[in-house]
Amino acid sequence: MDYETLMQLLASTLRLGTPLLFACLAGLFSERAGIFDIGLEGKMLMAAMASGATAAITGSAWVGLSAGICAALVMALLHGLASITFRGNQLISGVALNFVASGATVLIAQALFQQGGRTPPLSGAARFGPIHLPWAAEIGAVPVIGPIYQQVLSGQSILVYAALACVPLSWWLLYATRFGLRLRAVGENPESVDTAGISVVRLRYMAVLVTGILCGLAGTYMATALQAGFGREMTAGRGYIALAALIFAKWRPWHALWATMLFGFLQALALRPDVIEGVAHVSIPVPALDALPYVLTVIVLAGFVGKAVGPRAGGQPYVKER
């Protein structure tokens, strides 16, 4: 494999890792607050449909983005209603909302555009196009490091940079602010937070809403940047891969970046079986590469690569003492 191919692979890794990163951070906020969220997938799908449809109608990717975030927020509120207010089973709620999303997205897209559940192809201002970082050509001339800047980092959509910026932002929010401290506490020991006079319900709803916003970004990126428009089931299990990455990252923001980029790299590799054949001189079947993120997750879950222990109060509804 030459350097050029490696650069292509890495650029593709960043592109494919971005929705995973958004979704992974989304799951991180929810689960750190003690709310399991199997429904990342459904929220992404809703956001992808809403943003794709809105961008197609208005011709603006930014309006599409706000629609995507709103759609994911509605789904997040439903999950909050079921799991916080009515103390229902969080896992079942997530699974249910995923089905609701699979059905509703196609129904709405079909009713709006009559194109078999897809939204019309987007172009121009309706998509988030590539942004060329300053001095890309000049720095690109520097050997070895230059191409990384020019071909991998530069020329991505603005949402890719937003996702990367969300990593330090999430870290800061979780570990350097009062909100973050309380959020983490509510996922470990809600009783103590309640005793301190802080509302568990309010905190958990806020966490769920942050999850909605980030899933909205993930879905919008899928429909308006990674691809040009919404197609049925376009998230293709990315919500679950993000969940896997979250466990892989042991619920920490910086590790989430590495985990999602690793899974992004695997997805990029699955698109280029020729590269593997060239490097390893064996042909690995594409399905094996597709399954690799899931197999890796199972290995991590099994605790063979250090034990992954989630937030202690995760999945349990909080019942206030009377």
Partner 1 sequence: MTKLPKWADMVLVPVISLLLAAAISAVVILLIGGDPVEAVKVMVDGALGSPYGWGYTLYYATSFIFTGLGVTVAYHAGQFNIGGEGQAQIGGLGVALVCLAFPWPAWWMALPAAIVGAAVFGAAWAAVPAWLAAKRGSHIVITTIMFNYIAAALIVWLLVEVMRPTGQMDPATARFGAGTTLPGFHQIPGLDLIFTRKVPANVTFFVAILACFAVWLLLWRSRLGYQIRAFGHSESAARYAGISSTKVIMSAMLISGALCGMMSINNVMGEAGRLLQNSSEGAGFIGIAVALMGRNHPLGVFLAALLFGFLYQGGAEMGLWTNIPIELRLLLQGLVILFTGALDNMVRMMVAPFFRTRASAGVR
Residue 198's region, left for phi above 0, alpha for psi from -120 to 50, else beta, is beta
Query: Between residues 98 and 224, which has the closer beta carbon with respect to partner 1?
Result: 98
Distances (CA, A) of 77 to 5, 145, 258: 43, 45, 29
Does 153 contact partner 1 by CB under 8 A?
A: no
Is 89 a binding residue for partner 1 by CB under 8 A? The answer is yes
Q: Which of residues 254-293 bind partner 1 (CB under 8 A)?
A: 285, 287-288, 290-291
Q: Is 82 in the site for partner 1 (CB under 8 A)?
A: yes
Tell me the C-alpha to C-alpha distance, in Å, between residue 280 and each of 79, 98, 293. Answer: 45, 38, 19
Q: Is 90 in the site for partner 1 (CB under 8 A)?
A: yes
Q: CB pairs under 8 A, 24+ apart, for 148-154? A: 148/7, 148/10, 151/7, 151/8, 151/10, 151/11, 152/7, 152/10, 152/11, 152/14, 153/14
Select 106 or 257, whichever has its Cβ closest to partner 1: 106
Exactly one of 1, 7, 70, 91 binds partner 1 (CB under 8 A); which one?
Answer: 91
Contact stretch for partner 1 (CB under 8 A) within 53-61, 124-132, 273-281, 302-310: 302-310
User: If you search the block for the tokens 């099994």, which residue do you land on?
Assistant: 302
CB atoms within 10 A of CB 120: 18
For residue 87, state whether it binds partner 1 (rule: CB under 8 A): yes
> Which one of residues 244, 256, 259, 268 is an interface residue with partner 1 (CB under 8 A)?
244
The dihedral through the CA atoms of 258, 260, 266, 268 has a sign that is negative
8-state DSSP, 125: G
Supply the minimum distance, in Å, between the C-beta of residue 237 and partner 1: 6
Q: Which of 5, 60, 66, 102 binds partner 1 (CB under 8 A)?
A: 102
Shortest separation between residue 158's beta carbon and partner 1, angstroms: 31
Choose one: 65-73, 94-102, 182-190, 212-220; the region binding partner 1 (CB under 8 A): 94-102
How far apart, in whole angstroms, are the C-alpha atoms of residue 275 and residue 281?
Answer: 9
**Angstrom distance (rounded) from CA 192 to CA 200:** 10
- Residue 81, interface with partner 1 (CB under 8 A)? yes
**Phi–psi pair at 265, nearest 5 degrees:** -65, -40
CB of 107 to partner 1, least distance (A): 6
Taking CB under 8 A as the rule, does residue 38 contact partner 1?
Answer: yes
Q: What angle do CA 128, 111, 19 make, to 5 degrees?
A: 30
Near partner 1 by CB under 8 A, which window of 88-96, 126-134, 145-153, 207-215? 88-96
What ranges in the chain are assigned the alpha helix state H? Answer: 3-32, 40-58, 61-80, 90-113, 136-140, 145-147, 158-176, 178-188, 190-195, 200-221, 238-248, 253-271, 273-280, 286-301
Q: Cβ closer to partner 1: 80 or 216?
A: 80
By the rule CB under 8 A, 295 interacts with partner 1: yes
Q: Does 46 bind partner 1 (CB under 8 A)?
A: no
Q: Which residues contact partner 1 (rule: CB under 8 A)?
A: 38, 78, 81-83, 86-93, 95-104, 106-108, 110-111, 117, 232, 237, 240, 243-244, 247, 285, 287-288, 290-291, 294-295, 297-298, 301-303, 310
